[in-house]
Amino acid sequence: MTSIHKPVLLEKTLKYLINTKVGVYVDCTLGTGGHFKAIAKSLKPNAVLVGIDADYSAINYCKKNIQIQQKSIFVNSNFANLMRICYRIGYTRVNGIFMDLGLSSFALDNPNRGFSFSHNGPLDMRFSPETTESAETFVNSASVSTLKRIFKEYGEEKHSNLIAKAIDKERKIQQIKTTRQLANIITNTISSPFPVKILSRIFQAIRIHVNNEIESLKKALSQSIEILDEDGRLVVISYHSIEDRIVKQFMKRESTNCICPPDFPICQCNHKAQLEILTKRPIIPSKEEINSNSRARGAKLRASKKIREDK
Nearest to 96 by CA among 38, 53, 50: 50
Q: What is the pLDDT of residues 266-302, one digit of tens each?
A: 888 888 999 999 999 999 999 999 999 988 999 999 9
Instruction: Note the pLDDT of residue 290.
Output: 95
> How does DSSP assign 170-222, residue by residue?
HHTTS---BHHHHHHHHHHH---S-HHHHHHHHHHHHHHHHTTHHHHHHHHHH
Instruction: Note the pLDDT of residue 308.
Output: 78
pTM for the full model? 0.94
Question: Residue 3 above 80 pLDDT?
Answer: no
Instruction: Note the pLDDT of residue 101.
Output: 97
CB contact at 8 A, 28 and 234: no
CB contact at 8 A, 30 and 74: yes
* Average predicted confidence (pLDDT) for the chain: 94
Q: Which band of pLDDT confidence, cut at 50, 70 and 90, is reported for residue 4? A: low
Distance between CA atoms of residues 255 and 276, nearest Å: 5
Instruction: Note the pLDDT of residue 87.
Output: 98
Q: For the chain, where do the domains classified as CATH 3.40.50.150 start and end? A: 10-106+213-306
CATH class of the domain comprising 10-106+213-306: alpha beta
Question: Which alpha helices (H) appear in the chain, and where do they start and end?
Answer: 10-17, 34-41, 56-65, 82-88, 105-108, 135-141, 144-155, 160-171, 179-189, 195-210, 213-227, 241-254, 287-292
Residue that wins the pLDDT comparison between 147 and 5: 147
Sign of CA dihedral 125, 51, 300, 242: positive
- Number of Cβ within 10 Å of residue 20's Cβ equals 16
Instruction: Note the pLDDT of residue 310.
Output: 58
Q: Which residues pair with 302 in a beta bridge?
A: 236
Q: For the chain, where do the domains classified as CATH 1.10.150.170 start and end? A: 132-210
Q: Which residues contact 88 (CB under 8 A, 6 or more apart)?
A: none
Residue 217 sits at φ, ψ, to 5 deg, of: -65, -45
Instruction: Note the pLDDT of residue 104.
Output: 83
Q: Is CATH 3.90.1150.10 correct for 132-210?
A: no
Distance between CA atoms of residues 29 and 303, nearest Å: 16
Radius of gyration of the chain (CA): 21
